[in-house]
Every structure is written in C-alpha cells, then in structure tokens.
Amino acid sequence: MKQSYMPLFEKVSLKSGVQLKNRIIMAPMTNFSSNEDGTVSEAELAYYGRRSGGVSLVVTACVYVSPNGKGFQGEFASDHDGMVPSLSKLAATIKEKGSKAVLQIFHGGRECPPGLVPNGDVVSASAVASEQSAGVVPRALSESEIERIIADFGEATRRAIEAGFDGVEIHGANGYLIQQFFSAHSNTRSDRWGGSMENRLRFPLAVVDEVKRVIRTHAKQPFLVGYRFSPEEATTPGITMEDTFALLDELARKELDYLHVSLMDFWSLPKRGAEETKTRMEWIQERVGHLVPVIGVGSIHTPDEAVKALETGIPLVAIGRELIIEPDWVEKVAQGRENDIKTTLNKDDQERLVVPDPLWQAIVHTPGWFPLGD
C-alpha cells in the first residue's frame, strides 16, 4: 500500500464501543430489488455480500418503519416482527466478510408514491405538496399518529438488534419525513410539532431519543446510532445552513456515534446561512466535529480524493457508486493495486458485478448517473 493511503486504514472507536477497522464506509444506496412482501431478495444478499469485507461498515438501503412509510418500489421492510428473519440474513451476509452492518431506518412521508402505501393515504407533517412528487398533497398527521411513528422507529431498532445488526442509521435526509418535520417549507403546523425552530426540532429529536431508549433496553452488546441529514434545501422557506447548525447543536448532545452528511459533492459550497469561504463539510466539521464523528460523502472516486477529504479533519468517508463499479475498491487500495480500480461500467458488466436487475436497469437507463463505457 502507498504510504499516503495509510490514513484510510486507521482504526476508529465509536462512542457506543463499536470498533471500525478502517475509515471507509459503504454509503446507503436504494436498489429497488426487494421481494414484493418487503423481504430481502436473494439478489440483494448477493449484491451486499459482494461489497462487504473491505469497508469497515456497510449502511444498507433504507427500510420503512411504518406501513405508510414505503418510499420506493422494491424497498425492504422493518414494519413488523415478521421481517426479522429476512433482516437477519442481510446482517449475517454483511458481517460474514468482516464489515459492520448498519440498518438505515426511514419513513418517506410525503415522498411516498400513493400506490405503495395503504389506501393511497400519503402523510406528512403538514398538507404541503412535495416539490418532487407533483400532484400529491399529503394529509397532515395527527398527534397520536406522530407518536405512533416515533414508536415505529423504536420498534424497527429493536428488530435490527434482534436481527444481529451492529447499529442503525436514522434517515433524516433527502426530503423524507424526519426532514419534513424540520423544514419550514413542509411543516406549517401550529401545535407543539411545528412553528418555531424548537418545535420543528421536536420530531427528529424524539426519534433519536426513542431509538436510544430501545437500545438501552434491548441491546446486549455495543450497538451504534448514526443520523443522516441534508444540510440545505432549495425551497424558500426551507432548510439553510443556519438551520442545520441548530439541528447539529442538538444532535451533538445526543451521544450519537456519527453524523452522516448527504451531499452529491463533498466540496460543495453553502447557498444560504453560511459564508462561501468554506465548504459545507468544513462548516459542519468546525461546528460539531469535535463532539461527534462526521461521515463525509459526495463524488469521492479515488483513494487520493478520499485522503484529501480526511485532511479536512473529518474521520470517516463514505463511497457509494464507486463500490458498485468496483466492489474491490478498498482491497485494491490496501494491496497497492489502485491502478486496477475500475472507473466505468460497461453494459455487459451486470453479472460480473453482482448487481440486481432493477438496480442495473435504473443505472443503464438514467443518463449521467454512472459513467458508462461501451
């Protein structure tokens, strides 16, 4: 291995006691490939098995915690105890090669397609239409329904513990339900769950508290909790960097194992609420990095780029598409074979790369998403 890449392979100890063998994480990526009943498919098990072992930690695609939280066709489930055997297979597959397994838990809120939720009853913090899902106006959740969904996040955490996962990542990013409560665009409530910043923070923090309560009650060994967030929204009103700083200040008090930023570009600059003199990642690291480890992500393709990201002070980097294109990315860096890392896909690569058919079809039919060769 090149001397300059050695920082990527340093061990990391998290607050929960979970130990990571290196600083490279597999980012969560939707793969649209689960069975109709919400169980993990054999194709998914093979896909995760092929990419486990090199990275220290695999964050799965998101699972929906409530029946009305399903956000994607082919998304796997954790909304009832019947899912535990399926989830157990996934955890075992990831851990078998030596990676830690983290289940990302999620509710899609107003981004759920009506055809995927019971009776087409799409719900959110408020009856505000999505900017992304044209024509769908969600129903505002009642107080009792909000409490039920918070409990559902806890129950999904219990199932993750029973299934043998090493932790959960709370999906508070990408415009889904937790973010919908935090955003002044999607949350126009006038009760204790909306209005002021303090009230809009209540739902995300309640989910964190419930997840941690369940872990204290049920986990018999170290079990981590991460939280993923999107630092800004494009809408006005909407989340700004200033809003995100308020969220991070609160999350930093929760003894989390990590905060995971959702960005397309690690080096992107803030739009609102912070000066453009620093990248979003640098602002975030400066704000809370001394209190809780931050995972950086976004267009980190090469080991040189990963090392450059670590040089900003963040302790962990996540790669996603790179592990689809090159499942042995980490191993090749460790073996000094970085020049052998594949950087493009060919249309006949599906079988060799062990990619489920729905995900492969999405890749080849979405121009610009992946670098495609001949």
Which residue ranges make up each domain of the chain?
3-364
**d(Cα 137, Cα 128) in Å, to the nearest integer?**
6
Give this prediction's pTM.
0.98
pLDDT at residue 131, rounded to an integer = 83
| Residue ranges for the chain with pLDDT beneath 70 | 374
Residue 354, phi-psi category: left (phi > 0), alpha (psi -120 to 50), beta (remainder): left
**d(Cα 218, Cα 277) in Å, to the nearest integer?**
45
Longest dimension (CA), the chain: 58
**d(Cα 303, Cα 354) in Å, to the nearest integer?**
23
State pLDDT tens for residues 145-172: 999 999 999 999 999 999 999 999 999 9
State pLDDT tens for residues 250-286: 999 999 999 999 999 999 999 999 999 999 999 999 9
**d(Cα 104, Cα 328) in Å, to the nearest integer?**
23
Active site residues: 176
Return the CATH fold of 3-364. Answer: TIM Barrel (3.20.20)
Residue type, 94: I
pLDDT at residue 134, rounded to an integer = 76
**d(Cα 208, Cα 223) in Å, to the nearest integer?**
14
pLDDT at residue 135, rounded to an integer = 82
pLDDT at residue 374, rounded to an integer = 64
pLDDT at residue 213, rounded to an integer = 98
